[in-house]
Structure 1
Amino acid sequence: MTDKHRFHVIHGTPTLDTSAEQVRKRVRAMPKPAYMVQCHRCGGREVIETKTGVMMKNGKPVGGTKQLLCVGCLLKGERVLLV
Structure 2
Amino acid sequence: MPRLKLVPSAEPSPAEKVRQRVRAMPKPASVLQCTRCGGREMIETKTGMLFKDGKASGGTKQIVCVACLMKGERVVVL
TM-score (norm 1): 0.78
Specify the SS of the correspondent of 1:45. coil
Structure 1 portions without partners, runs of 5+: none
What count of residue pairs does the alignment treat as equivalent?
76
Aligned with residue 30 of structure 1, among 20, 25, 30: 25
CA 40–15 in structure 1, closer or farther in 2 if over 3 Å, else same:
farther
Mark the CA change 1:35 to 1:73 in structure 2 (over 3 Å): closer, same or farther.
same
What aligned pairs does 1:1-80 form with structure 2 within 5 A after superposition? Answer: 17-80=12-75
Q: Match for 1:64: what amino acid?
A: G
The residue identity in structure 1 corresponding to 2:28 is P
SS in 1 for 2:19: helix
State the shift of 1:20 in Å: 1.3
SS in 2 for 1:50: strand
SS of the aligned residue for 2:22 comes to helix
Query: 1:49 is aligned with what amino acid?
Result: E
Cα distance, 1:67 vs. partner? 0.5
TM-score by length of 2: 0.83
Give the superposed CA RMSD.
2.4
Structure 2 unpaired stretches of 5+ = none
Q: Percent identity?
A: 58
Deviation of residue 17 (structure 1)? 2.1
